[in-house]
Amino acid sequence: MQITLQNFTKKFDDVTVIENMNLEIKDGEMLALLGPSGCGKSTTLFAICGIHRVNGGKILFGDQDVSDLPSQKRNVGVVFQSYALYPHMNAYENIAFPLKVRKDKPADIKRQVHEIAKLTHIEELLERKPGQLSGGQQQRVALARALIRKPDVLLLDEPLANLDAKLRLEMRSEIRRIQLETGITAILVTHDQVEAMSMCDRIALMHDGKIVQLDKPSEMYNNPANKFVADFLGNPPITFLDAEHKDKTLLLPNGHSIASPNLNAAVKKVQVGIRPECFGPQFGMGVKGVVKFIEKQGREELFDIQLTDGSILRSIQASGSDLEVGADIDWGLSLDDLLFFDMQGERL
């Protein structure tokens, strides 16, 4: 079902956490609410499921205004970060609880629980209490419980934060698979960009209670709307150099100059964003510096390069170079992939 936030505003006492937010989640789409800690992701999520009252604006499920409906009347499935399974009930009872509350027939409940258990691959675990399940298994039970009522929308609040790295990888694709198989509309709250990029159709990047950009993952990475987005997406992160703009060329602080035929001549100062993969020997020469630090990541190596003027650039390259800390380098930039921002951080 399509979910729409219209001028959604949320205050806690006198503090406005979210002001006039507009967001549309398409039917069957999985959307990531991505942003740094404290930007209002959970608040938005809790407003959609009805735990928080809205202080202004509307929340629509399809055409229906649900802003004033209590949680119980909104058909929403939620997976909490801590899973919030009921500790005294076994997996079966946990999953069946929403149906029991709805007073479905026992035979119906049984059939539905087994269906959803099959979808989430937990058929053998139904007798176990949450305490006897691993993190990933608890996650599956929580997912099954959230899905059993066939909700209009599935909300996931940092569902992978409590899992170890390997399980996180597995559950990432599992959640996506289940979402695609059920065709449910889903919102994933996360502060992990990799999670957002790999699992979701679109990402809404939030900052200080506002949505700064709403786009497809690749589009957002390649075409960030401003410096914040460019900085937030990408790991290892982008680096910025302040450049002077004159006569269709950009003069970098280390003296290197690059042609910039498409920039507005009125802009005198420009911040150049250089992603680590846009700087290296494969792009020619001209930028001189010294290797300050090497981080070996197995398949790749990450270099911190100090330029002649003291500013630092990052570069990521396939392993196997014989460079050592202190070595002099002369590398080039991938000119097509550089990002330009004005001093306020807006994209040029």
Partner 1 sequence: MSHNFRHWPIITILTIVSLPLIIMFAFQIIDTFTTHPIDSMIPNKVTFEQFSFLWDEAETGRANIWQVTLNTFIFATTTAVVVCTVSMTTAYALSRLNFPGRRYFLGGLIILHAFPTVTLIIAIFLILQIIGLYDTLLGVIMVKAALELPFGIWIMKGFYDNVPWEIEMAGVQDGASRFTVWWKLVLPQVQPGIFALMIFSFLSGWSEFLLPQVLAPGNDAQVLSTYMTALIADDTKIDFALFKAVGMFYALPVIAIYLIFQKKLMNIYGGGTKG
Residue of the chain from 40, 57, 98, 280 that contacts partner 1 (CB under 8 A): 98
The single residue among 87, 298, 320, 326 that binds partner 1, judged by CB under 8 A, is 87
Pairwise CA distance, residues 154 & 119, whole Å: 15
Binding mask 167-206 for ligand ATP (x = CB under 6 A): ------------------------x---------------
User: Alpha carbon 331 to chain centroid distance?
Assistant: 32
Which one, of 221, 287, 281, lies nearest residue 257 by Cα? 287
Is 35 or 130 the residue whose CB approaches ligand ATP more closely? Answer: 35
Listed in sequence order, the residues at least 6 apart from 29 whose beta carbon sits closer than 8 Å to its beta carbon are 185, 186, 201, 202
Choose among Mg ion, partner 1, ligand ATP, none what residue 97 binds, the Cβ cut-off being 5 to 8 Å by kind: partner 1
Taking CB under 6 A as the criterion, the residue among 17, 66, 188, 199 binding ligand ATP is 17
Residue 78 touches partner 1, criterion: CB under 8 A: yes
Q: How far is the CB of 213 from ligand ATP (least distance, A)?
A: 16
Per-residue DSSP letter, 254: T
Please name the amino acid found at residue 270.
V
Give the strands of the sheet with 30-34, arranged side by side: 76-79, 153-157, 185-190, 30-34, 202-207, 210-215
Long-range contacts made by residues 300-304, C-beta under 8 angstroms, separation at least 24?
Answer: 302/236, 302/276
- Is 37 a binder of ligand ATP (CB under 6 A)? yes
Could you give the residue ranges of the DSSP H alpha helices within the chain?
41-49, 91-101, 106-119, 135-147, 165-182, 193-199, 217-222, 227-232
117 lines the binding site for partner 1 (CB under 8 A) = no
Nearer to ligand ATP, 37 or 344 (CB): 37
Residue 289 makes contact with ligand ATP by CB under 6 A? no
- Determine if 42 is a binding residue for Mg ion (CB under 5 A): yes
Q: Which residues bind partner 1 (CB under 8 A)?
A: 49-51, 70-72, 76-78, 80-82, 84-88, 97-98, 101-102, 129-131, 145-146, 149
